[in-house]
Amino acid sequence: MKVEEFTDPYLGKTWQELGARILASGNRISVTLGYPAHGLQAQLQQQLAEFLGVTEVDLELRFAADHGRAFNQVKNIVLVASGKGGVGKSTTAVNLALALDAEGAKVGLLDADIYGPSQGMMLGVEEGRRPDIKDGKFFEPIRAHGLKAMSMSFMITDKTPMVWRGPMASGALQQILGQTQWGDLDYLIVDMPPGTGDIQLTLSQKAPVAGAVIVTTPQDIALLDAMKGVEMFGKVDIPVLGILENMSVHCCESCGHISHPFGSGGGSKISGELGVPLLGQLPLSMEIRQQADGGTPTVRAAPESAASELYRDAARHLAARLWTREQAAPTIRMVDD
């Protein structure tokens, strides 16, 4: 067996088909993937050793982001959306952004929910903190937990309602996106407002979006709205990277009983019906809610937790979905010890 014939755990294709860059010398192997995978180091090391039939492998994992539909210095814009509110989309978006950062990517987070921005609170940005202005017209994103972040909540107070018509909200979003100095980013995660309205259309028309992730719960009404969201992105030529089922299962903290408050199997069902992957199933957890409300989301507050690993697995999966365009065969060189 050769290293280039190894099947990628997320994409079901060999690294040769995907165009991974491979450098091998004895049992030392360096692999450059098109998605960040720091958390897969130990797992891939073991799997490669078994695949190659050797005792052990000294694996070096590297990452080079696909440029997708680049926007200035931002290589990939990824929308995190939902068909309806109340499914935990914003909590999911911030944890996915933090997960990509933990995996080794350079990540920004844009809060596109003009009417109900929440990322400022979830990132622990103190009320009243404002982004710096450069050259009189560019915003400097606020840094929080390793992310570059921008949100309407940085411009207003928590008690200020945004009483704007759709075109005004769309204009504000274009300004925040286009006049923020994001710098060099592998991924800009965009926390979208719920639904399929003006903001969604504005981003699809004004920004080179690489893909979208749909967040839903197993509840029937949420699944119906999620399907509408998938269809909407299809109409505006934005690829749906996958479905994330939130509040999938609840484990009682007292007795350990497992329950499914919103039903089960819904995410898998629409994933199969629509032909898009199920990126993950996230739990209904008091801790996840408390950590986000407290300004330190789960991936930062409890990096070794099971929930954090689920977010990181979903983040690797969605990033891997962006690494599927046609590429040249991998470059493999053997180096003498």
Question: Which CATH number belongs to the domain containing residue 276 in this structure?
Answer: 3.40.50.300
Together in a domain, 48 and 189: no
The reply to whether 161 falls in a domain is yes
Structure tokens at 90: 């914003």
Same domain? 135 vs 254: yes
Do 99 and 214 share a domain, yes or no? Answer: yes
Q: What is the pLDDT of residues 188-205, one digit of tens each?
A: 999 998 876 778 888 888
Confirm whether 90 is domain-assigned: yes
Do 172 and 257 belong together in one domain?
A: yes
**165 and 55 belong to one structural domain:** no
Amino acid at 306: A
Q: What is the pLDDT of residues 270-310, one digit of tens each?
A: 788 878 899 999 998 899 999 999 999 999 999 999 999 99
pLDDT of residue 10: 95
Parent domain of 39: 3-65+325-334
Is the residue at 288 inside a domain?
A: yes
CB within 8 Å of 202: residues ≥ 6 apart: 170, 173, 174
CB-based contact 147:86 (threshold 8 Å): no
Residues 181 and 329 in one domain: no
C-alpha closest to that of 63 among 323, 329, 337, 327:
323
pLDDT computed for residue 188 by the predictor: 97
| 59 and 84 together in one domain | no
Cβ contacts of 38-44, under 8 Å, gap ≥ 24: 38/102, 38/103, 38/104, 39/102, 39/103, 39/309, 39/312, 39/313, 39/316, 40/9, 40/316, 43/9, 44/9
The CATH number given to whatever domain includes residue 45 is 3.30.70
122 and 271 assigned to the same domain: yes
Considering the domain architecture, whether residues 27 and 143 belong to the same structural domain is answered as: no
Q: Are residues 113 and 259 in the same domain?
A: yes
Q: Nearest Cα to 87, choosing from 221, 280, 204?
A: 221
**Phi, psi for 235 (deg, rounded to 5):** -70, -25
Evaluate whether residue 70 is within a structural domain.
no
**So what's the pLDDT on residue 278?**
92
Q: What pLDDT is stored for residue 260 in this prediction?
A: 66
Q: Is residue 147 part of a domain?
A: yes
Does residue 71 lie within any of the structural domains?
no
* Total domain count, the chain: 2
Residues of the chain with pLDDT under 70: 68-69, 156-166, 196, 252, 254, 256-257, 259-263, 266, 325-337
Taking a C-beta distance cutoff of 8 angstroms, is the pair 3, 15 a contact? Answer: yes
Q: Does residue 222 contact residue 245 with C-beta atoms inside 8 Å? A: no
Say what the pTM is: 0.90
Do 8 and 87 lie in one domain? The reply is no
Q: How far apart are the first and last CA of the chain?
A: 21
* Whether residues 102 and 195 fall in one domain: yes
